[in-house]
Amino acid sequence: MPGAQADIRITIGGDAGQGVESSGAMLSQALARGGWHVFSVPDYRSRIRGGHNFFQIRAAGRPCLSHSDPVHLLLALTRETIDVHVANLAPGAGVIYDDGFRLDAPELESRGMLPLSMPLAKIAEQHGNKLMLNTAALAAAAGILDLPLDVLESLLRDTFGAKGTKVVEGNLHVARAAYRFAKERYSGRLPYSLPPKAGPGAERLVLSGNEAFCLGAVAGGCTFVAAYPMTPATPILEWMAAHERDVGVVTKHAEDEIAAICMAVGAGFVGARAMVPTSGGGLSLMTEALGMAGMCEVPVVVVNVQRGGPSTGLPTRTEQGDLLFMLHAAQGEFPRIVLAPGTHEQYFEAGWRAFNLAEKYQCPVIVLSDQFLAASRRSLEKTAVSPESVTIDRGQLLTAEDLERLEKPYRRYAMTASGVSPRALPGHPQAVFTATTDEHGEDGHITEDMDLRVNMMDKRMRKLETAAAEMRGPAVYGPKDAELTIICWGSTVGPARESLPLLLDRGVRANVLHFTDIWPFPQAPAERALHAVRRAVCVEQNHTGQFGRFLRMMTGFTADGHVRKYDGRPFSPQQIAAGVLKEVGVRA
């Protein structure tokens, strides 16, 4: 599979603490610099050391929307790695491993694998130190795949430059020795390679979903982030904290989740574009304060990066189990907007769009992500995350000049046809008002008057009717007249789209119907799209088929079949295709 048609999958595996994820990220970047499109996904346990971790990379001549199976090259940093991944290796797959492993090479060959034994540990110790074993393994892979050494060298300089010349030179010596050994011993042994491609590879960015979201949030004017660390949302807090001086964001590591959202609501109240990143367990603690933002009509963005639950559940794994929770979190009823981006580009856009919606409708906006989207890394053109694509809409925010022209006393919660009241920030003498979490009148003062309660409740809830007009309907990917439609939401869209050619190979002509704007539900466009569906299979990562149930509640539409996964690992295109074929009665 040489040249532009290549679609190569590489897995790096080892123990937690061996730098598997950092090595995978580095190789992903090196392949992107070589002109290849990459998609990579980490798999790690919820422990600091011990236990098997791995990082899967896909490199192709076209943009990748998902990881894929099976694997063509395995970099085994431990003996266990081979046993864990042997079932997912393609026929003839190469296995790079240290010659110190107790391994029967003829047995690997008898199982259809190509053993690639190398003195990786010795090379690391002789030319640098034993901690540079990962560098040796990456360089060996580069040599076998015909990726130029200078691409890896430039990345090593960038990665280790802050650690000093000695560390950089040590890694370069190790890389050169391992690359040379691999080329001399194994050049041409694999039936595929990844030589450099002509094109703008060096101009591409390799970003995790969380990093793309952070870039979108900063471009959209985010100025305050408060959080209590919770995997897999913690990288958002870490990125913001690392860059806060550069991008002008105040980052607060709160003492707990309740404090975090209260800080963000307070910041939003005085005019900051404020955000809280968390996961389902953290949001469970935040629900009362979420209702406070709804009652006081304060804009705030909450990012729920889902993981397997309930309780502590699977802290480092992925799931889509919080959908119905997000629609109803907190007691009582109040307007909220729920977005579920599915790709890195959509996650970037949600980073700034969520703030526009929060301020325009003066309510909480929940961005519903998950570990798969958040942690996976993908090569993107710079235009995909360009600040030039960002627009800022602060809604009905009154200026000082607006307030000075008022002829009547300012009423923060004034009745309006849209449900959105003109918003003034505290501090102006013409805009002194009361804000309370009790029911209140237009002036903010507490009330228990029945008629006023009904009027204020109606006024707040009218925001959903107004906001519904700009909620986006589902996107269709694939042939419009397909005999089968895969319905999905959020991050399953990438693997679902990649499953279409696999289904076509089995004689099933399918398309994908993907929802990103969840609430308020885009009723009319959704019903139009569903009207064109002949036969549907709903694909989602939870046990009860939450989106399928929600879709039936909102439209009366019932899918003909369901493919569900809740083992903590993301869908691969092959798994979706197999599940869909089973649902439609085609033997795998």
pTM of the model: 0.96
pLDDT tens-digit readout, 449-485: 999 999 999 999 999 999 999 999 999 999 999 999 9
Q: Per the omega criterion (within 30 degrees of 0), is the bond before 148 cis?
A: no
Cα–Cα distance measured from residue 350 to residue 365, given in angstroms and rounded to the nearest whole number: 10
Q: Verify that 217 and 187 share a domain, yes or no.
A: no
For residues 464 and 335, the answer to whether their CB atoms sit within 8 Å is: yes
Strands 337-339 and 517-519, how do they pair?
antiparallel
Domain assignment of residue 246, yes or no:
yes
pLDDT tens-digit readout, 291-340: 999 999 999 999 999 999 999 999 999 999 999 999 999 999 999 999 99
Q: Verify that 21 and 119 share a domain, yes or no.
A: yes
Q: Verify that 259 and 380 share a domain, yes or no.
A: yes
Q: Verify that 234 and 325 share a domain, yes or no.
A: yes
Q: Verify that 348 and 441 share a domain, yes or no.
A: no
pLDDT tens-digit readout, 47-72: 777 789 999 999 999 999 999 999 99
CATH number assigned to the domain comprising residue 96: 3.40.920.10
Strands 37-43 and 377-380, how do they pair?
antiparallel
CATH number assigned to the domain comprising residue 569: 3.40.50.920
Q: Verify that 454 and 480 share a domain, yes or no.
A: no
pLDDT tens-digit readout, 236-249: 999 999 999 999 99
Q: How far does CA 340 lie from the centroid of its chain?
A: 10
End-to-end CA distance of the chain: 25
Residue 289 is part of which domain span? 206-389
Cα–Cα distance measured from residue 265 to residue 252, given in angstroms and rounded to the nearest whole number: 13
Q: Verify that 210 and 189 share a domain, yes or no.
A: no
CATH number assigned to the domain comprising residue 370: 3.40.50.970
- What is the pLDDT, as a whole number, of residue 424? 97
